[in-house]
Structure 1
Amino acid sequence: MNGIRLLVCYLSFYFCVADVFAEELAVESFSQLPSHMRPNLSPSGKKIAYIKNYLSPEVTVLTSVDLATGKKQLLVKSDNEKIKIKWFTWANEKTLIVSVKYTSTQGRTDYTETRLLAVDIDGEKPLQRQIAKPKRSQRASQFQDTVVSFLPDDPEHILVALDLDKANLPGVYKVNIYNDKKSRVVRGRAMIRNWMADRQGQVRLGSALDYTHGDAGIKVQIGDDNTWHKMFEYNALKDPAITPLGFAKDPNILYYSQYKGDKKALYKIDLTSKESELVFEDENYDVDGSLIYSRKTNDVIGVYHSHSEDGRVYWDESRHKFQKSLNRALPGKDVYLVDFSQDESIYLLYTENDFTPGTYYFGNRKEKSLVPVLDQYPALLPEVLTEHKFVTYTARDGTELEGYLTLPLGAAGPVATILHPHGGPGAREYDGFDYWTSFFANRGYAVFRPNFRGSTGYGYEFAQSQMQGWGLTMQDDLTDAANWLVEQNIALKDKMCIVGASYGGYAAAMAAVKTPDLFKCAISFAGVTDLKKLVSTSRRYLNSKFVKKQLGADSEDLKSRSPAYHADKVKIPILFIHGEDDVVVAVEQSEAMVSALRSLDKEVEFIELENGDHYLSIQRNRHITFKAMDTFLKKHLN
């Protein structure tokens, strides 16, 4: 345990100092990148790797610590501008595999590329090298980090999907992580975009998709048969998806998700008999989480499900009992097991609740010890934050909708309020700590985050509401939420602002057009404003037909649902913030509406973030964004 004490000592500088009696914390307390992120145990549990974000200088560093000796190594450094750390994991006790991504430009099109690094940590200094590189005679894969299997019984090799012969039709290669020698295991074939290996490391499944016609299917190998058999077929443009999730320890048992009626459920199928069995369903919500595996048994022991008591459903009784014991040890918090050593005697868990930022703990089951080691937001203390309340409200057509309401500390009666629609729109809100919401509430605003139609998790028909529905019922659900807040004496009628990012940014701009008298102000971060332009731009990409299915293809209809074409209807001040290097929603989307508003002498502010992406990955840009929102809201909500 000496190494743990050293790690806590190393981190203790950051467990600081906030005046719990302060009504307002510094903006930077909320807008700093999480201090520590995504810790990962080595197979023995004797080492830990994690992302550390530094404030001065503003860099992100993949760091490893030997828990026995306290030896700390800085493995990969990123400024989050030219290159970003996407993910990392231990290949074995001495080597980590790291994915990095960066933005490239071809013609007028910006896109993301990824590369794969192996980092050895067993020497005096870490040794870093690129792996899975194409040969000179092969085409360069845009994505070189798609690992199909880490081959647990072969610590020197991994399986990687690479489209070295034809773009977007990858084959699978066995790659030596020490000398980068590779050999092809499976050749790329008709329309298979993704490959899956079983728990023994054999490539057994391919997911096919025809981007032109939407035809999709899952092909599998059965037993020792080298033939690829069609298992499921559907049309992705017309039908609900069937999604393979992973194999059991038995290589002939495949878990997959499929809709049972309107709700997504978990199934498993015996590939030899082709008999399927329902494993788990929730009659009220989709079961759309990933599988949970035991590192010790190499088998499936549960599924992530946000609407279960612990966010997980276990059918392994020992893991279920262990989870309950941890809940008792850490009362009042949500407890999530995030990683184990190979023998599962050592583990990492993550805790949070609505008003407590996340903390990681290191546990040793043999020693029955549990020690906090990594904090995400050390400057935020729970005493100055506030919990979220799960609520429901009724839309104008009688549909009951869910959401999360956060009131500022000491609120009595109606207060200035922020309606905060989520991005996606194929996403949803949950309980638990949220740094945007906590920031707004700390400023004295009530915050409401509704799961409007188009959100995921509530069934097929509910999610399908987003298809060519931007600006319609989805937007009306937000209007109804705002009116409900006033009716319930939560919000002051003339003190409401709508604030959103990505799709939420579109919804904020659209609210200023569609309901110009409802809100006092609006903030759009990285939002869409021109659907017609978005559909037109999608022609450069493979998924253009899917974009048209989602948004529509009729030019006049798209313009009618695009706030940039209706700037004349806006009566309220709007703040637009957008990263100049955003490859998810191009900065031109904000520029279009800003230009239209300025031409009409409307009250508009625009901040373009240098090198900024869609996710506020750069520390200075996160500070700029939160300070700008703070100033804007104080000005217009008083």
Structure 2
Amino acid sequence: MNCFPWQFSDLLKFSNETKLIPREYLYGNANKLSPKISYDGEYLAFIAPREGIMNIFVSYDLYNLSQAKPITFDKNRGIREFWWTYDNRILYSNDKNGDEDYKIYSVNIDTNDVTCLTPFENVQSKLIRLSPKFPHEIIIKINMPDPTTHNLYKINQKTLKITQIEMNNQSFNDYFVDDLLRVRCASKDAGINGKEIYVKDDNSDEKSDKWRLIISYNLDDATSSNVISLDNDGTIYLIDSHESEFNSLYKLDIENGKELELIAKPPDQKADINKILFHPATRKPLAYSVTYLRDQWFHLDEKILYDLVFLRNFDDSEFDIISQSLDNLIWTVSYESGNKPPKYYLYNRNDQSIHHLFDARPKLDQYTLGRVFPLIIESRDKLNLACYLTLPAGKYDTSAKYKPKNPLPLILHVHGGPWSRDYYCFKADSQLFANRGYAVLNVNYRSSIGLGKSLIRAGIGQWGKKMNNDLIDAVRWAIHNNVAIKEKIAIYGKSYGGYATLAGLAFTDVNDFEFACGIEFAGPSDLVKLIRTIPPYWKSSYEEFVYRLGGDPDTDKGKKYLESCSPSKHADNIKKPLLIAQGKNDPRVKYEKHNDILESLKRNKISAGYILYCDEGHGFVKPKNQLSFAAFTEKFLSTYLGGRHEQYDKDEFKNLNLKVECGKKLLGLT
């Protein structure tokens, strides 16, 4: 399969200087998102702006969305996630300004009445199960009365009666419930011993506590092994890596099974199983994908093979099946790739017909986006790092793979987590930077998931050390291959990527290059404080978290090690300009009025900017905040790397709930 299909007309587009893409087209509200079919196949719901805020709309015509009506009327943060119920209601969750204390709401699509099903303060609610056998009931886990553990509750959407069905005495992280709404299976973190899977033997009593341990995973397998589904016949489906570097798909009968039965081991494995498609009624797996550099789908059911082939041939972008009718005949499907924003379709399996629903960002069609090259870069200790290089349109040599015509300023874009990964998908940041004239490099460094146990294992205790080396090695590759100008390299990231930005400026000691500047959002600078202030509902993962970071802050040795990896303790080493942003309500990386790094930069007269977003948490939700940060970012990069940027007026963001505590002149706000 040709991963990069080009036509002559495409090459002509790149011959001219590309137009400046307005930030609004990349970071403003999407046109529409997340179309989901109701289980009976009668309705289609999606998220779209209403008075500038993302809300849920429902259409009674699957093929004509022009008459779709809004059924929610949120006026604050907007809605990002929703689910159909089996009685044709819609559920969605929302928090307050990023505090991650999610409440779950139910919407009557006929009357638009919205009911909060979990009206409890300072607790977190998460949806666990819906069942066609009990269409009015939902199973939710809520961390009350103990904020450190989630207990299971059953809520009737009609009567609003809430009943506790499982007291979490075992500190389980995840529960698995069958269609009879019986709690059958659970998993929990076992600290440095890994992960444990349990089944409940006696299901006649919903409140019984007869849990039986069936599988123990060591820490090496814990991240790539887990229960993923429970079907109606009492079979557990798992992804499991206990016998190989990468995981495979297994099943186990709850009542009689003693050994895992292999269902699928992907051919020529270079990565873990990524997505799994289940039958919506039987809950049995039908197909799965494996993602190394690109996503590949494999069938488990011969009937699905024809659909997968059709969808693969329809568009060469990465595709995903978003929702299915209960009879599995109607799907909603998305397509996207590195330089193609999501497009959504309605697919009918009866006649293999596909109908275009909408594009997420149609205004980008008038612009030429940067081309994204998946590639492998080898680390100094011979690890294969899956990477994605984005080059500006018209700036690369079409006769040479991933080579610009001339070396470019480079932005090293570090993903968060760190137990996450980058994919070949549309990234607004990468396309903004490429449009402004920069090469962009995304690196799956050690600790990134989905690429084998060795890569995760190699990251234990390596924050700011070998994890930083992987990023440096990727930049060295870019310099050596004439992709990057070594004097014009920035490091940029959010969450762990923010930490990596600080570490890259504080710890990098190389002779052949140094970062010209850095930009970070929500990055922890003090690992001791990070561990000691984790949210209470992370308690069950505390021991593993401490182990993976490499030091226990309650021991002298551990604290000393964590401080050696904490950029705030080495802030005087930062000699290059830095832009910092923080969400005031972030429950993971706590906001503190006193910022050691900022104080050090001021003391050492290093150019710095600091922006506090007072209505955000650990990530951006409000598009206007995202737009402002993108504006400040490209202005900052233009100053220190020389790329172009879209101008803005200093009063453009005056109505936002943010404080620029440092660097107003630097950001053009004076």
Q: TM-score, normalised by structure 2?
A: 0.82
Equivalence for 1:112: 100
Q: Identify the residue that residue 207 of structure 1 maps to in structure 2.
A: 187
Match of 2:637 in 1: 633
Residue pair 1:356, 1:381 contacting (<8 A) in 2 also: no
Please report how far the alpha carbon of residue 205 of structure 1 lies from its aligned counterpart in structure 2 after TM superposition: 0.9
Tell me whether 1:407 sits opposite 2:425 in the alignment.
Answer: no
Aligned partner of 2:666 in structure 1 is: none
1:589, distance to aligned residue in structure 2 (A): 9.5
* AA aligned opposite 1:339: S
Measure, in 2, the Cα distance between the counterparts of 1:418 and 1:522: 9
- Conserved in 2, the CA contact under 8 Å of 1:345 and 1:365? yes
In 2, are the aligned partners of 1:246 and 1:291 still within 8 Å (CA)? no
Structure 2 residue ranges without an equivalent (≥5): 1-15, 396-404, 553-557, 643-670
Residue-by-residue CA offset, 1:185-209 (whole Å, 9 max, x unaligned):
4444333343211345432112244
After superposition, the C-alpha distances for 1:539-578 in whole angstroms (9 at most, x for unaligned) are 9662443332232232332222222222322232111122
The residue aligned with 2:83 is 89
Which residue of structure 1 aligns with residue 560 of structure 2? Answer: 556
1:289 matched to 2:274? The reply is yes
SS in structure 1 of the partner of residue 362 of structure 2: coil
Residue 181 (structure 1) aligned with residue 161 (structure 2) = yes
**8 Å contact from structure 2 (residues 194, 221) kept in 1:** no
Moved more, 167-176 or 340-349: 167-176
Offset, 1:377 = 1.6
| Aligned partners of 1:141 and 1:164 also within 8 Å | no
For the structure 1 residues 378 and 539, does the alpha-carbon distance in structure 2 shift closer, same or farther, using more than 3 Å as the test? Answer: closer
Aligned-partner residue type, residue 334 of structure 1: E
Q: How does 1:290-329 map to 2 (within 5 A)?
A: 290-295=275-280, 297-307=282-292, 310-328=295-313
Aligned position for 1:11: none
Tell me the distance in 1 between the aligned counterparts of 2:298 and 2:357.
27
Give the stretch that moved more between structures: 367-376 or 165-174: 165-174
| Cα pair 2:292 2:386 within 8 Å, conserved | no
| Cα-Cα RMSD | 3.0
Q: In structure 2, what is the Cα distance between the partners aligned to 1:158 and 1:503?
A: 34
Q: Give 1:240 shift.
A: 6.4
Q: Which residue of 2 aligns with 1:217?
A: 196
Q: Which residue of 1 aligns with 2:57?
A: 63
- The corresponding residue for 2:523 is 527
Shift of 1:118: 1.6
Which of 486, 508, 517 is equivalent to 1:515? 508
The yes-or-no answer on 1:260 pairing with 2:246 is no
**1:231 Cα deviation after fit:** 1.0
**Which secondary structure does the structure 1 equivalent of 2:581 belong to?**
strand
- Separation in structure 2 between the aligned mates of residue 223 and residue 303 of structure 1, nearest angstrom: 32
Please give the alpha-carbon distance, in whole angstroms, between the structure 2 residues aligned to 1:245 and 1:35. 32
Deviations 1:240-273 (A, max 9, x none): 6742111234213443434323323322122313
Matched, 1:584 2:578: no
Q: Give 1:7-46 correspondences, 5 Å limit.
A: 22-46=18-42
Quote the Cα distance in structure 1 between the aligned partners of 2:195 and 2:150: 16
Counterpart-to-counterpart distance in 2, 1:503 and 1:390: 22
In the TM superposition, 1:98-497 aligns within 5 A as 98-102=92-96, 111-122=99-110, 125-132=111-118, 142-147=123-128, 149-162=129-142, 166-209=146-189, 216-221=195-200, 227-234=210-217, 242-271=225-254, 272-282=256-266, 284-295=269-280, 297-307=282-292, 310-328=295-313, 330-366=314-350, 369-381=353-365, 384-411=368-395, 412-497=405-490
Distance 1:458 1:236, change over 3 A: closer
Report the CA distance shift for 1:473/1:205 in structure 2 as closer, same or farther (over 3 A).
same
Q: How far 1:313 moved relative to its partner?
A: 2.6
Bigger shift: residues 609-618 or 589-598 = 589-598
Residue 495 of structure 2 corresponds to residue 502 of structure 1: yes
User: C-alpha separation between the residues in 2 aligned to 1:73 and 1:345?
Assistant: 25
1:189–1:582 distance in 2 versus 1, CA, 3 Å: closer
Identify the residue that residue 72 of structure 1 maps to in structure 2. Answer: 68
Deviation at 1:151?
Answer: 1.4
Compare 585-594 and 200-209 and name the one that shifted more: 585-594
Shift of 1:171: 4.5
Aligned to 1:573: 577
Distance 1:565 1:209, change over 3 A: closer
For 1:251 and 1:184, locate their aligned partners in 2 and report how far apart those are by CA, in whole Å: 23
Change in Cα spacing, 1:506 to 1:209, as seen in structure 2 (3 Å) is closer
SS in 1 for 2:328: coil
Match of 1:15 in 2: none
Shift of 1:120: 0.9
**Number of the residue aligned with 1:8:** none
Task: Find the residue that maps to 1:413 and give its secondary structure.
Answer: coil
**CA apart distance, 1:286:** 4.2
Deviations 1:19-56 (A, max 9, x none): x97431112221214332222111222211111135xx
Counterpart code for 1:446: A
Question: Offset of 1:170 from its aligned partner?
Answer: 4.6
Aligned-pair distance for 1:224?
A: 6.4
**Judging changes above 3 Å, is the alpha-carbon distance between structure 1 residues 187 and 523 closer, same or farther for their aligned structure 2 residues?**
closer
3-state secondary structure, aligned to 1:549: helix
| Contact 1:103–1:113 (Cα < 8 Å) also in 2 | no
Aligned mates of 2:270, 2:112 — CA distance in 1: 46
More off after superposition, 340-349 vs 612-621: 340-349
Cα displacement string for residues 508-529 of structure 1 (whole angstroms, at most 9, x for unaligned residues): 2211122365122211122122
Is contact 1:132-1:160 (8 Å) kept?
Answer: no
Whether contact under 8 Å (1:36, 1:375) holds in the other structure is yes
Q: 1:47 aligns with which of 20, 26, 43?
A: 43
Question: Looking at both structures, which has the greater relative contact order when contacts are Cα pairs under 8 Å and sequence separation is at least 6?
Answer: 2
Percent identity reads 25
Distance, in Å, in 2 between the alignment partners of 1:514 and 1:180 is 55
Match of 1:602 in 2: 606
